[in-house]
Structure 1
Amino acid sequence: MNNEPKKNEKKSKKPIIIYFIVTIAILLVANYSRDAYMNKEISYNEFLNMINNKEISEIVISSDNLVITPKDGTEYEGKTLYTANIKNDKLLDELIEAGDIRFTGKNPKESIFMNAFMTYIIPIAFLYFMWRFLFSKMIGKMGGGMGNIGKNNAKVYVEDQIKVTFKDVAGQEEAKESLEEVIGFLNAPTKYTEIGAKLPKGVLLVGPPGTGKTLIAKAVAGEAKVPFFSLSGSSFVEMFVGVGASRVRELFKDAEKQAPCIIFIDEIDAIGKSRDNQMQSNDEREQTLNQLLSEMDGFDSSKGIVILAATNRPEILDKALLRPGRFDRRVIVDKPDLIGREAILNVHAKDVTLDPEVDLKEIAKITSGAAGADLANMINEGALRAVKHGRKKVLQEDLRDAVEVIIAGKEKKDRILSQKEKKIVAFHEVGHALVAALLKGSDPVHKITIVPRTMGALGYTMQLPEEEKHLNSKKEFMNEIAILLGGRSAEEIVLNEATNGASNDIERATQIARNMVTIYGMSDRFDMVALESVQNRYLDGRAVRNCSDETSTLIDEEILKIVKEAHNKAKEILRENRELLDKISGVVLEKETIFGDEFMNMVCEKYPELKKQDKKEGLDLEDKTIEVETEEIDKKTAIDVTIE
């Protein structure tokens, strides 16, 4: 990392401290001189008495004061006295009459200069240096002082400081392949220029948080072995208009000096927001964006300067920023699939001592929708758990528990449920599991537990996908809704009552049904009309309505129809298997936690054909296929009971 800013900061602070010390010294010397010059103040009456008593040898008359030198042998011998110069017209006559008193006037220019110096110049100088000292402290973080406020504050990594390469990046093979050309151009530009090819000026890395956009950018610099300028989009925006634009100019000047190099701007949406239809404008941000656009147009890509930028909100970026000639290429850094998750786990586990029996593929299966940062956290949590239990190696159970901690939180040991509540939770969770076991195409049950968790779950049912899915059919969505509503259905059948423990299940079931109607085109009433559009798909995936209020009423009716159909299906399955529901719930109530094999053994006692048959031969609801996005980590792997 370049330490030049720190050196400049030290140099800029040193003169300020010196100025401050000198100013204090001047004030002290001036005050001392003044006190030495006018040693004691007396009243005007005392002054007149001294004239009458012939105790004065000399008087210096100024516009403000009378400076008195007493005679030897008097009370004030050796001291200098002063008193205010009262406009006394008879004073000169009295001094002449005294005879032996020498008197003179003080040069008015010298007095004016001294008064001005003491009254104005010294205080103003003192305030100036104090202001400069304090202000430099206030803005030190923004630029290292007054002179550096518009300077480039990017972190600069030279070639030998970047240890990250593509070997440290897993699960993003497509993104790495898209960036190979950039690396090739930086390493051997003539091979591309000979044929007339030009290096892309900008590459935009787009994806959800935690997928490794910054890591990939560093890996590109590590592979190309070129200097790497790293900064955040927010570091351009300051309270002073023009500072951001100045920093952009300085950044590109510094980059040209070290070309070939890579400039990486993280969270570029901080300065690159669209300027269309804005009720309020931000002059500083707009100037910074305009300067960035100008610099990208102005530099020659043949010099080997590549701009990498990362964002998880590409839809809000200004169109001028995304046009060809600026950010020429968009690289999607999405959440990894099953193979990618296993590769990421292997990368993060290479420095962790694992037991030979550890199966990372199983962990990859139960973490559908997890990003790279989530998987790294799970490996670390597993290692921490192993140390906590006094082991030298990480076991499979450590990693399984780490996944559960990330999904549902730690076990809440201080929450003690009453016997009635434990019974309700047991029937609720077994209701989920039993519906999942008997429905066609649903994922196998991996674990059932009624141990409370810190994230609010009083229990949960975990399913383990058999294979990675990128397409979901209408039948599978209906199955998922039925499984989610299986907990409440079990409460209604067994206990003939409903609790608030199904609130999270109801919320998720309703959302799936809404997506089926408004986004996936799985409603006969609306056919394939897009009634909602997804915004911020890499963040919260919030949907925005694209229909009238009258249509919204019809949408609600269609959602109710889907949820009721799935609810009735879940109750039908549980009624037909009431004895099995009671039996498994009793085991769960006794053991608190059972795993998938034990659960399926009890199910297969009634349905022995499920041992040999494919899971897909279960109960059927309906079959239509539509493309969907990858599920979030907690949408497929855990069904929990949440008390609000």
Structure 2
Amino acid sequence: MTTNPDDKKPKQVLATYAVVALIVMFLLNIFVLPGIMERSIRETTYSDFLKGIDSKQIQEVQFDVQDSIIYYTLKQDGKTQVCKTGLINTDSELIDKITSSGADLTSEIPTQQSPLMNMLIGFILPTIIFIFLGQLLFKKMTNSMTGGPGGAMSFGKSNAKVYVKSSTGIKFSDVAGEDEAKELLTEIVDFLHNPEKYRAIGATMPKGALLVGPPGTGKTLLAKAVAGEADVPFFSISGSEFVEMFVGMGAAKVRDLFKQASEKAPCIVFIDEIDTIGKKRDGQISGNDEREQTLNQLLTEMDGFDGSKGVVILAATNRPDSLDPALTRPGRFDRRIPVELPDLQGREDILKVHARKIKIADNVNFHEIAKAASGASGAELANIVNEAALRAVRDGRRFATQADLEESIEVVIAGYQKKSRVLSEKEKLIVSYHEVGHALVAALQTNSAPVHKITIIPRTSGALGYTMQVEEGERFLMSKEEMANKIATLTGGRAAEEIIFHSITTGASNDIEQATKLARAMITRYGMSDTFDMVAMETVANQYLGGDSSLSCSPETQTQIDTLTVDLVKTQHQKAIQLLQDNLPKLHEIAKYLYEHETITGEEFMTILMRKPELAAADSAASGN
């Protein structure tokens, strides 16, 4: 008969625990119990001691010559108290006095507690405490060997949330702007509902589908919609929940997750932020073997289970380029479903979906709001609708209006209006010319987005003002001329400052950053330079998380890139200066109007711009009178 080594582990732990308990009890009796007894002894004066001898109230006396202390028991009012006082002398006269009073001279220190109390404090009470702790430890050790709750091995149990049927409450009708992704996922749900029609033609269900896209586009929401549509169990877990302090626990969680999924097949398993455990294996030896073991176990499990049973793996990430190629190959994640930023129609649909949750005016034009919110993700659009509702409540309205939605776009883009920041008259004038410089350069160029709004009201993002341009329709491509015009528009604010005030300020810092970034991209990524033609000098990583770029060329080439970038920005800057100088009267007129009104719409801007100079002069004279 063989003995399981695991059975010896609880006994070994308890034996060690018993030895430790005995040592602790010994130390308690040596150090703690005397301290308790010491605290029960009352200090008195030597005169009190002599009075007690004279009144024959003292029963026992002990001289501690080494520490010069007298311990004695005092019986007073029917109560006995152990006292101590300083030892002054031990002459025969004092001893005779003690003896004649009837007190006993003893060699042991009198104690306040009875022997029973001493045994209770020094032995019985610690024994009870350690027996209780021992039972608790034995229970935890038993659970750890069986994988029960609270045991050490419970770390290896998957803590995935299980949703059955439509408990999430989200359907595909609640998701808008991602029609292609919904179509692909709808096919997966249909296969789980009606597998026979697919098997009849010999088709098999994809083992996995990888949802990739920028943050806030609705990857997790789509997975929850699948849970709402599918009439099968839905396991949801985050990639970070596989990461454990103990090596091997992450792999154990993966095994347990797939074991549960196989038992409840057909079902759907959703792993959010899979890049946490699915990063590329670089082959370098490092201390973090836990993540690699977890990934290897995930790869093995995805190969091991039978897809015909109806177990589908969904995963979401916004860093697809960091995933291990073995994870994304066909046979594991067969489908890669892009969940991109919504287009114009998608934004309009998303706004309508979220607008159903609030009270809104009947005349709201969602198409105009969607145009103004170009580049916004689904999460940002939801925030825009919520901000509109909050603004309506602040203003005492019972429903949100078009103006609320338009203002909420600006809140999401630039922050709230900073009413506490009051600009001086000169700063306000500089900001007015700066913003009109942007707008005027944009309007005087072809292939440039129309001006939608100009404001010089400071925002919480730090902007002292901004010019908003809105495209008439959806744009997916930009020509070389359009990008150059955009650089000129970005330099228009600084150009206006130079022309009017013959000085420059720090207000163009963000414009300079954007213009430089755009000019460098034209040269290094888009092949819009005659010097390098169609050669890529820059690579972009994490395109969904800001697009970190790195140059992949020689130092000499980098020097050329810097020179070309400076020349391109400088050329467009000079172009902006020339456009403003040629239209100096309009610059003054519009800047004055903006200075007085603080905010002007695109229609007002274009009206002033297209107005004839004679009429403008007449209006100016009339306002002067």
Shorter-chain TM-score: which interval?
A: 0.7 to 0.9
Partners of 1:349 and 1:379 within 8 A in 2: yes
SS at match of 2:196: helix
C-alpha distance 283-123 of structure 1, shift in aligned 2 (>3 A): farther
How much has 1:227 moved relative to structure 2? 1.2
**Partner amino acid, structure 2, of 1:303:** K
CA distance in 2, matches of 1:236, 1:310: 15
C-alpha distance 401-143 of structure 1, shift in aligned 2 (>3 A): farther
CA distance in 1, matches of 2:165, 2:279: 32
Pick aligned residue for 1:218 from 224, 233, 258: 224
Q: What is residue 13 of structure 1 aligned with on the other side?
A: none
Asked if 1:148 corresponds to 2:154, the answer is: yes
Partners of 2:457 and 2:464 within 8 A in 1: yes
Q: What is residue 603 of structure 2 aligned with on the other side?
A: 597
C-alpha distance 526-133 of structure 1, shift in aligned 2 (>3 A): farther
Pick aligned residue for 1:449 from 438, 451, 455: 455
Partners of 2:428 and 2:595 within 8 A in 1: yes
SS at match of 1:306: strand
Q: What is residue 271 of structure 1 aligned with on the other side?
A: 277
Q: What is residue 419 of structure 1 aligned with on the other side?
A: 425
Pick aligned residue for 1:235 from 233, 241, 250: 241
SS at match of 1:458: coil
SS at match of 2:205: coil
Partners of 1:435 and 1:574 within 8 A in 2: yes
Q: What is residue 398 of structure 1 aligned with on the other side?
A: 404
SS at match of 1:171: coil
SS at match of 2:217: coil
Asked if 1:491 corresponds to 2:497, the answer is: yes
Kindly report which structure 2 residues correspond to 1:132-171, keeping only aligned pairs within 5 A, or say none.
144-171=150-177
**Partner amino acid, structure 1, of 2:257:** L
CA distance in 1, matches of 2:367, 2:149: 49
Asked if 1:386 corresponds to 2:389, the answer is: no
Kindly report which structure 2 residues correspond to 1:188-207, keeping only aligned pairs within 5 A, or say none.
188-207=194-213
Misfit runs of 4+, over 4 Å: 42-46, 116-136, 142-145
C-alpha distance 556-279 of structure 1, shift in aligned 2 (>3 A): farther
CA distance in 1, matches of 2:563, 2:613: 37
Q: Please list every run of 5 or more consecutive structure 1 residues that lacks an aligned counterpart in the other structure.
A: 1-22, 47-73, 84-115, 137-141, 609-644
SS at match of 1:149: helix
Partners of 1:143 and 1:150 within 8 A in 2: no
TM-score (normalised: structure 2): 0.76
Pick aligned residue for 1:562 from 560, 563, 568: 568
CA distance in 2, matches of 1:526, 1:579: 41
C-alpha distance 251-581 of structure 1, shift in aligned 2 (>3 A): same
Partners of 2:61 and 2:103 within 8 A in 1: no
CA RMSD of aligned residues (A): 3.3
Partners of 1:227 and 1:262 within 8 A in 2: yes
SS at match of 2:512: helix
How much has 1:149 moved relative to structure 2? 2.1
Q: What is the CA deviation profile of residues 165-199 of structure 1, one whole-angstrom value per residue up to 9, with x for unaligned ones?
A: 11011100111122222112101111112222111
How much has 1:82 moved relative to structure 2? 12
Partners of 1:201 and 1:327 within 8 A in 2: yes
**Partner amino acid, structure 2, of 1:512:** L
How much has 1:221 moved relative to structure 2? 2.2
CA distance in 2, matches of 1:606, 1:424: 25
How much has 1:148 moved relative to structure 2? 2.2
Asked if 1:297 corresponds to 2:303, the answer is: yes
SS at match of 2:235: strand
Q: What is residue 51 of structure 1 aligned with on the other side?
A: none
Pick aligned residue for 1:244 from 250, 254, 274: 250
Q: Please list every run of 5 or more consecutive structure 2 residues that lacks an aligned counterpart in the other structure.
A: 1-20, 38-59, 65-101, 111-121, 143-147, 615-625
Pick aligned residue for 2:556 from 545, 550, 556: 550
C-alpha distance 135-466 of structure 1, shift in aligned 2 (>3 A): farther
Percent of aligned pairs sharing the same letter? 58
CA distance in 2, matches of 1:121, 1:193: 68
TM-score (normalised: structure 1): 0.74
Q: What is residue 186 of structure 1 aligned with on the other side?
A: 192
CA distance in 1, matches of 2:61, 2:334: 87
CA distance in 2, matches of 1:422, 1:215: 45
C-alpha distance 129-524 of structure 1, shift in aligned 2 (>3 A): farther
Which structure is higher in RCO with an 8 Å CA cutoff and minimum separation 6? 1
Q: What is residue 316 of structure 1 aligned with on the other side?
A: 322
Count residues with an aligned counterpart: 510
Asked if 1:578 corresponds to 2:574, the answer is: no
SS at match of 2:156: coil
